[in-house]
Structure 1
Amino acid sequence: MTPSVPLIEGHCDARFAGVREAFEANFAERGELGAAVAVRVGGQSVVDLWGGWADSKRTVAWERDTLVNVWSTTKGPTALCAHVLIDRGLLDLDAPVATYWPEFAAAGKSSLPVRYLLSHRAGLAGLREPHSVAELYDWELTTRRLAAMEPWWQPGSQSGYHALTYGFLVGEVIRRITGLLPGAFLRQEITGPLGLDFTIGLPEKEADRVAELVHAPAAANGERAASFSQLPPAALAALGNPPVAAAEANSPAWRAAQIPAAGGHGTARAVAALYDIVARRGLAGDRRVLSAEAAERVREGQGACRDLVLGAAFGHDTEVGLGLWLSGPQGAYGPNPRAVGHDGFGGSFGLADPEAEVGMGYVMNRMGPHLANDPRKMALIDAVYAAL
């Protein structure tokens, strides 16, 4: 082990030694600070590794139970909540959103179906009026503004990544049906019964376990800001209204808030287990969370296109299913084009591949400049599939 690689703890089956090597290389070659990776194959844990530092000053070691904000990797568990309701016959993908949320019918949205919310095709990628981070913590205000707004584009015609609004849109439908905010529903129906260390809305008593997020280097941030200036209005609203970065996400207010598109906190182990529910066609251990049909529906493609928000970053067409992105021909989530997953701002991700029976999670605190497909992510995924 080189001096630049911290002590790596946990377990890794011999067959997956390449994953450990890739994880170590992330520290030695790709600027990793603190991180964890977990892989499940056929429902069994084959990799569960962690290492590095939970703070920027490198004084607090990353532990087995260190939590970290996973940004948009949160969208997978939020979508899972919606699919539980679909599976139970309480939510209809093709019913108008206004059936459950009457105020949503404003501004020509009376017939907009639920499936457009899950697939980023609702045209509500970002709010039109300025919305502060503090206002983002106000659930009623944020959902009221979303219900009243006119879509940026013709709903259903194209996807456009709903970076923050996704969680409020899907989450408010969940709340209208169940009476519970999505974080409470997730805990009651999924993470609580399964004992998974993942929350949307971090309890104050868990604050001591949370890693400090460290933003990408200033030069990379400058490049990102320059690229933002070229974006169309809908993309600017999606990615910059409000502007959110590590400083805000390290605050107690962010950690406690209900932000179901970007505010989840968990371990890699928990992320892998949540995405593994899709990989195992609805099973978690011997417990059925979703029917096999419902789990398959999660990755039902809604049409490939150049995404209106992230298209320039990807440089190619992509396809969103009903809550997760398909790996596609570019292999964003491994070589199976029908594998699915979700990246989080800065580098985290969850992956589900039912054909290979792989569920995977990766979390970290040193955020990279990439909007998707961080090199650390791709190195880990490549190592998993090389071992299969």
Structure 2
Amino acid sequence: MRPLYEGHPEAPVAEPARGADLWTPRGFAEPGYGAVVDAFADAAAASPRGGAALTIMVEGRTVVDLQAGVADPAGRLWDRDTPTGVFSCSKGLLAALVSRLVMAGLVDLDRPVSFYWPEFAQAGKESVPVRWLLTHQAGLSYPVEDVEKADVIAWSPVVDKLAAQKPLWEPGTGWAYHALTMGWLVGEVIRRVTGRSVGEVFRDYLSDPIGASASLGAPHMAQRPVAQMAPIPGFSRNSLAGVDGAEDIARSFTLGGAFPIELVGPGAGFNDPDLQAADIPAGGVIATAADLAALWSSAIIPTETSRPIDPLVLSDMTVRGTFGEPVFGIAGTPTPQWGTGYMIHSPQRPLLSPASFGHDGAGGQLAFADSDHGVGFGFVTNDLRGEGDTRSLDILTALQNTL
């Protein structure tokens, strides 16, 4: 095993000298997790444009808590408290939030969306159930009218456009990834049943009960600076040239004009403080790796201040519902499988075991729970990668062998 600070995860870790290898893991690992440390070290070495962090909890106890690299081009050290954007890992947490609202009797997944959000009953969407908003089957994977940055920040212009829009295909007959629109669709239901913003409900039901710093929207801005993300090399609008459905794919990630196709740039997209402060529930959660592990651990393990998600709710929401070829997408690209909002274990996107549920995020992020092993897992990086990236998978393989 590579040299590693060994102490309690809450203990301070001395900052290495600037001449030291900043990509050597810093932090904590219990005895027996050396293979996981090695896999993380390799992942950090494969992230030279930034850094990475990994936290693993087992039965509510932190067993691995590692950081490496830097949080921004200025060389700010990545430490345990460094928050970062987690992209679509947000979707798994959105599903967890819906699970809590189902437990509270506020949401019935099989009721029509229009029961909670009457304006949604337009253009043939009257009978679309809430569940289809989470399974990518609602036919609203992008808005046909352009959405600008100001619309994203204001919230209501986006939901108004989606409520009025005719579905891109007959809902329930197929699926295509609702990369960003899922957040406004599910989020508006949350707003209607609670009378509060999604960010406020996120804190009330997920973060605050366990003392996590993860947030959706403005509150994180008063905390530590967010890691600056480097875009996926080679991914651009030009890289989609000649791909069937290229315009559909591009619009699902850009909403027409609100986001760059690369998702991030210097001060742009999810690196833009204005957008980081907005409620973007499908991609805008800001969290540390430790936050993610704690949030997913609390989904299955009781704490002194929270109870797990009801097993019956989990059982319903983790049944495979979305798989196979999408309505549009890059032909031949392996597609994950989903339950109701939760990404689940599949050959295309392996997690720890068939009892795992959570979500990955663009560029290499991964966060999930595994009820068989009692695991809460969070891996984050700001050096985004695309096809061929095996960092999280290699860490998972080492964790499987260890457990």
Q: Is the 8 A contact 1:9 1:51 kept in 2?
A: yes
Structure 2 partner of 1:248? 269
Q: Secondary structure at the match of 1:95?
A: coil
CA change 1:158–1:254 in 2 (3 A) is same
Q: Is the 8 A contact 2:89 2:360 kept in 1?
A: yes
Q: Secondary structure at the match of 1:15?
A: coil
Letter in 2 for 1:261: A
Q: Is the 8 A contact 1:201 1:263 kept in 2?
A: yes
Q: Secondary structure at the match of 1:287?
A: coil
CA change 1:360–1:322 in 2 (3 A) is same
Report Cα offsets for 1:91-111 as digits up to 9, x if no partner: 111110000000000111000
Equivalent residue for 1:226, pick from 230, 239, 263: 239
Structure 2 partner of 1:381? 396
Equivalent residue for 1:332, pick from 350, 357, 381: 350
Q: CA deviation at 1:235?
A: 3.0
In 2, Cα distance between the equivalents of 1:309 and 1:327? 22
Q: CA deviation at 1:50?
A: 1.0
2:203 paired with 1:182? no
Structure 2 partner of 1:264? 285
More helix by share: 1
2:252 paired with 1:238? yes
Q: CA deviation at 1:338?
A: 4.5
Q: CA deviation at 1:180?
A: 1.0
Letter in 2 for 1:364: T
Q: Is the 8 A contact 1:275 1:352 kept in 2?
A: yes
Q: CA deviation at 1:43?
A: 2.2
Structure 1 partner of 2:55? 38
Q: CA deviation at 1:286?
A: 6.5
CA change 1:127–1:228 in 2 (3 A) is farther
In 1, Cα distance between the equivalents of 2:26 and 2:33? 15
Letter in 2 for 1:300: V
Structure 1 partner of 2:361? 344
Structure 1 partner of 2:323? 304
Q: CA deviation at 1:238?
A: 1.3
CA change 1:49–1:89 in 2 (3 A) is same
Q: CA deviation at 1:8?
A: 2.2
Equivalent residue for 1:8, pick from 12, 25, 39: 25
Q: CA deviation at 1:287?
A: 2.5
In 1, Cα distance between the equivalents of 2:129 and 2:303? 30
CA change 1:83–1:124 in 2 (3 A) is same
In 1, Cα distance between the equivalents of 2:385 and 2:335? 23
- Map residues 142-157 of structure 1 onto 2, 5 A cutoff: 142-157=158-173
Which deviates more, 9-18 or 174-183? 9-18
Q: Is the 8 A contact 2:84 2:382 kept in 1?
A: yes
Q: CA deviation at 1:5?
A: 5.5
CA change 1:321–1:284 in 2 (3 A) is farther
Which deviates more, 245-254 or 65-74? 245-254
Structure 2 partner of 1:70? 86
Q: CA deviation at 1:256?
A: 0.6
Q: Secondary structure at the match of 2:235?
A: helix
Report Cα offsets for 1:293-338 as digits up to 9, x if no partner: 12333312214321335563x734542111111111345213x234
Equivalent residue for 1:201, pick from 207, 210, 217: 217
2:74 paired with 1:61? no
Structure 1 partner of 2:14? none
Q: CA deviation at 1:130?
A: 1.4
Structure 1 partner of 2:178? 162
Gaps of 5+ in 2: 4-19
Structure 1 partner of 2:95? 79
Q: Is the 8 A contact 1:325 1:341 kept in 2?
A: yes
In 1, Cα distance between the equivalents of 2:330 and 2:305? 40
CA change 1:204–1:50 in 2 (3 A) is closer
Q: CA deviation at 1:189?
A: 2.1
Letter in 2 for 1:75: K
Gaps of 5+ in 1: none
Q: CA deviation at 1:351?
A: 1.7
Q: CA deviation at 1:236?
A: 3.3
Residues paired across the two proteins, number = 378
In 2, Cα distance between the equivalents of 1:369 and 1:57? 24
In 2, Cα distance between the equivalents of 1:156 and 1:284? 38
Q: Is the 8 A contact 1:158 1:305 kept in 2?
A: no
In 2, Cα distance between the equivalents of 1:317 and 1:251? 29
2:296 paired with 1:275? yes
Q: Is the 8 A contact 2:24 2:44 kept in 1?
A: no
Q: Is the 8 A contact 2:345 2:356 kept in 1?
A: yes
Which deviates more, 31-40 or 92-101? 31-40
Q: Secondary structure at the match of 1:14?
A: coil
Q: Is the 8 A contact 1:339 1:354 kept in 2?
A: yes
2:233 paired with 1:212? no
Q: Secondary structure at the match of 1:10?
A: strand
In 1, Cα distance between the equivalents of 2:150 and 2:111? 32
Q: CA deviation at 1:234?
A: 3.7
Q: Is the 8 A contact 1:79 1:170 kept in 2?
A: no
Structure 2 partner of 1:321? 339
Structure 2 partner of 1:291? 310
In 1, Cα distance between the equivalents of 2:329 and 2:346? 15
Identity of aligned residues (%): 34
Where in structure 1 do 4 or more consecutive aligned residues deviate above 4 Å?
Answer: 1-5
Q: Is the 8 A contact 1:34 1:54 kept in 2?
A: yes
Q: Is the 8 A contact 1:329 1:337 kept in 2?
A: no
Q: Is the 8 A contact 1:100 1:176 kept in 2?
A: yes
Scaled by the length of structure 1, the TM-score of the pair is 0.90
Letter in 1 for 2:243: Q
